[in-house]
Structure 1
Amino acid sequence: MRVSSYAIGAPLADERFFVLLHGVRGSLDKVAATTGAYLVEHRGDIAAAPPWDSGGRIEAHLKERGYLTDLSPEQERGLMVDMATALHKADLASSPPSFVFVPAFTCNLRCPYCFQSHEMHAGKGTFATVMTRERVDDAFRVIDGFDSPGAVARHLDLLPTLSKDVSQAGTVGKLGLFGGEPMQEATREIVGYIVERARNRGSALWAITNGVQLDLFADLLGPDGLAEVQITLDGMPDLHDQRRVGPRFRQTFHKIVENIGRALEADVQVRVRINVDQTNADHVAMLNDLFMERGWSEHPAFSATAAVVSGEAKHEELVSPADLLSLTRALGGAGCVSSYEGYAIGVLKRAIAGGYPFQRAVNCSAETGLLMFDPRGDLYGCWDEVGLMDRRIGGYRGGVMDLDEQVARSWLSRFPGAIEQCSRCPYALIHTSGCANTARTDTGSIFAAACEGFQTYFPRSLAESYDEIEHQLLGKTPPAHTRSRSLPIVQVTSG
């Protein structure tokens, strides 16, 4: 008998206890600290000299829950691959394609850490193209032909074709806008036309925008038009205005804040993103205070998330996800800015409710069918690759989509069970292999893991979130490291 290769855990605030999670079975247990520490420290090893009585009740329970196993490492890995494969097939079959318009490559800002080139944002060469009505009409003809769950996967023969009497059309709720900057003066007319076409088919839109010129689109804001926006604030005015800056916009903070308020008044879902590195880490708490002062933290349509700036060579002053998680957790019960807590909270909610906690095997919509329509008639399957001609997955012209099926199929074939490193990782069904583009940048292939420090911060986040649920149940004041969240009050049992 050996310790499972997929045992996950961390000590709780009460140092006598440990929370355990099985990365394939989905078991969740609170155990004695000596037991939990042994299982994590001896993950994958023969269970020699354990701190419990051999053959006793504790050992039987740990075996029943999967933390101890008679399976060989390869047999256990086979179970993980089988589960990941089943989840992946369900993802492909149930997920409608994600459709995104790129009205223009240009941007009215030149943020120093942006992953897109300033040449693109300046509109040099073919990057000067703005989407036309004809291109929009072509895109909608493609959308109308692929508006069903699994449509792209079926087109690529990754799923069986539906019989003619089975119709799943009309499932796309929202369409996307991306850039460059989709919401700027140069795109006002074409975005208005996209909104009109979307409304006619019963679809609303979301946009990733810098928010600087969102006021030009005020008449399009609302649940039946531009219904959701992601807008970035990188700190208080003095620092933000050094980072979010453009040729015509030297001071953007107050303009963006004004436009966030305008969007909330129009019942638009607003997600604020804070890109964090060492230069602005201390501004996360200041922005949290600002959101609370303006009453946004209590607004049902508002949320705020902080994320580390990705590691481009031109921007090396990074903080780790673990560091950022500590910052957002330290905001206390009144905090409204989150970072990487969502992984643990989601797993706990599902496990405690009695369901299987791992629901998906894909990292993002690029792996279930993301079609991004650019203004030149090209198609892209990843946010980070828009505008890079050698990364196109096809084209669309005359209402017909022409996919490079080998390239597109590779995107939809990526999942933890298809990656050797991930198939042996206890965190694979939680982190779902990480970002494919990051993996390609690091290794040259999307069929590689992008761990991004997940193994470092997830166990602690799991323990802190578990502590919070238990203290809610007992009606006690949560430990200082926990935050008030809307988690279910449930029976917490000891294994």
Structure 2
Amino acid sequence: MRVSNYVIGAPLQNDNHYILMHGFTGAVDKVSYSLGQYLVERRGTNCQPEDEIIRSLSQETLSHLESRGYLTNMDKNEERSVMIRIASTLHENDLRTSPAGFMLIPTFTCNLRCPYCFQSHEMHAGRKEFATVMTRERVDQAFAAMDQFAGPGSVATALGLINDSLDSPLETIKMPKSPITLFGGEPLSSVSLPIIPYIVEQANLRGRTLSAVTNGVELDKFVDLLGPGLIEELQITLDGLAELHDKRRVGPKFRRTFETIVTNIETALQRGARVSVRLNIDTTNIADISGLNEYFTRLGWNEEPGFSAYAAVVFSAYKRPENISQADLVRLTTNLKDTEDSHIESYEQWARNTLISCLSGDGYPFKRVTHCAAETGLLIFDPLGDVYTCWEETGQRERRIATYGKQGLQFIDKTAGQWLSRFPGAIEQCSECPYALIHTAGCASHARSISGTIFASACESFQEFFPQTLARAYLDFENALLNSNTLLKPNTEDEIA
């Protein structure tokens, strides 16, 4: 018998116990500290007769640990094969049932020149072809393609990755219509103002609303288009309090943007739009997270049902002295929750959502293995007639997956097919990882930036922060149960609590 390669666990703070999770059975158990430590530290190794912790367990407990997957009689390759079969099944289901996601880039130009932006200066300055603004003809062509690929599994079917011979035809599967996202450049600026009302009109004709990833600097020009049934959701960046923010979020005509953006967020919330504020964090502004939370509280935003705020690290394929890891950011945001009642999160929700899925009893807990919509069929239409599937690669024509125009949408099969073929079972490193069905190989674009291929993992310190956030999420869950007078029953005796 050996310890499974897919054991995940962490000690529970101020509690002489461990929380365990199995990476493909979805089992979750609270066990003694000594047992949890043994299983995590000995992951993937054979149990030895002289192992005191194993000899101390009853046969009932050993059988329970085996039934949950923590102990196994499978060797490493057999267990890996099981994980790959599970991932492959989930991947096929992802491709069959996922409707395409849609984004529109009205213009590549941007009114800001943020120093850490992943897009090029030529693009934002509108040089050469990047000066093009989406026309009504292009909008009509994009929406015609959206109409064609609105059904679940439509992109994968068009690429020959699945067929539509299901017991229940794809067109009968009812899926909610997700918003069409406006992206850029800067999608809501004076440059794009003439075309945005037409985009809203065409979306409404199809029963779709819009969201936008915007810097919010010129949002006041679009007030009448904000709110329910129109542009309903906004992602807007604030990179610190005014002094720091105004050093980072600047443009040729916008030297101080903090107060303008704050005023525009207020207006959007008043119009009934949902606003998610993103904080792009590195060492230069990490100290401002606490101050921003206090500022949001003072403005009353933290009490607004349509408001949320989250922090994310600034990614770069090259080492920058300002960079921090996701694990570093998680430590800060979780500490702020404990000490200052902060409402700003970073990557903690990963563990919380996974735990809820494992404990809910709603079927198999790991529902998807595609990391983002790019791996099931995200279509991003730019103003030049090109289609991308990853917003971090827009404008790089060698990365486009299709073209669109009068002849409809034409896939570049090799490029598009690669994206829809990526999942943990297709990446050797991921197939052996206990987090494979949770982190789902990480961001493909980041993997390409680091390794030169999307068929690589982008771990980004996930293995470091997930166990700690899992332990915290479990304690929160347990406290909620205890406070609601719901008793937690032990699973078995001995080392299982």
TM-score calculated relative to the size of structure 2: 0.94
Alignment partner of 1:375 out of 383, 388, 404: 383
Could you tell me which residue of structure 1 aligns to residue 44 of structure 2?
44
Work out whether 1:298 is the aligned partner of 2:303. yes
Aligned 1:8-407 pairs, distance under 5 A: 8-48=8-48, 49-52=51-54, 53=56, 56-162=59-165, 167-168=171-172, 172-313=177-318, 315-332=320-337, 334-355=341-362, 356-398=364-406, 400-407=408-415
| 1:87-128 alpha-carbon deviations (Å, 9 max, x no partner) | 111211121101110000000000000000111100111111
CA deviations on 1:152-180 (whole Å, 9 max, x unpaired) are 01111112125797634885331110000
Moved more, 352-361 or 222-231: 352-361
What's the counterpart of residue 447 of structure 2?
439
Quick check: 1:424 aligned with 2:432?
yes
SS at match of 1:238: helix
Checking the alignment, whether the CA contact within 8 Å between 2:153 and 2:170 is kept in structure 1 is no
SS for the counterpart of 2:445 is helix
The SS at the match of 1:212 is coil
**C-alpha distance 399-259 of structure 1, shift in aligned 2 (>3 A):** farther
Structure 2 distance, partners of 1:167, 1:29, is 41
- Paired AA for residue 447 in structure 1: F
CA contact (8 A) 1:371 1:381 kept: yes
Residue ranges of structure 2 left out of the alignment (5+ in a row): none
Q: 1:452 to 1:166 in 2, by over 3 A?
A: closer
**In the alignment, which of 456, 471, 488 is matched to residue 448 of structure 1?**
456
Structure 1: runs of 5+ lacking an equivalent: 477-487
TM-score normalised according to structure 1 size: 0.94
Q: Percent identity?
A: 50
Aligned partners of 1:281, 1:348: CA distance in 2, in Å? 28
Letter in 2 for 1:400: G
Q: Distance in 2 between matches of 1:381 and 1:292?
A: 37
Note the C-alpha offset of 1:299: 1.1
- The Cα RMSD (Å) is 1.8
Moved over 4 A (4+): 162-166, 168-171
- The answer on whether the counterparts of 1:140 and 1:399 sit within 8 Å (CA) in structure 2 is no
Report the 3-state secondary structure (helix = DSSP H, G, I; strand = E; otherwise coil) of the residue aligned with 1:45. coil
Residue type at the aligned position of 1:167: E
* Contact map agreement 1:470 1:492 (CA 8 A) in 2: no
What SS is found at the alignment partner of 1:430? Answer: helix
1:69 deviates by: 0.2
Shift of 1:357: 2.7
Contact 2:101 2:178 in 1 (8 A): no
* Paired residue type of 1:115: F
Structure 2 Cα separation of the partners of residues 60 and 142 of structure 1: 55
Give, in whole Å, the separation in 1 of the partners of 2:13 and 2:265. Answer: 38
Look up the SS of the partner of 1:372 in the other structure: strand
Q: Is the contact made by 1:367 and 1:412 (CA closer than 8 Å) also made in structure 2?
A: yes
Give aligned pairs, total: 484
Kept after mapping to 2: 8 A contact 1:147/1:171: no
Secondary structure of 1:186's aligned partner: coil
Aligned-partner SS, 2:392: helix
Matched residue type, 1:191: I
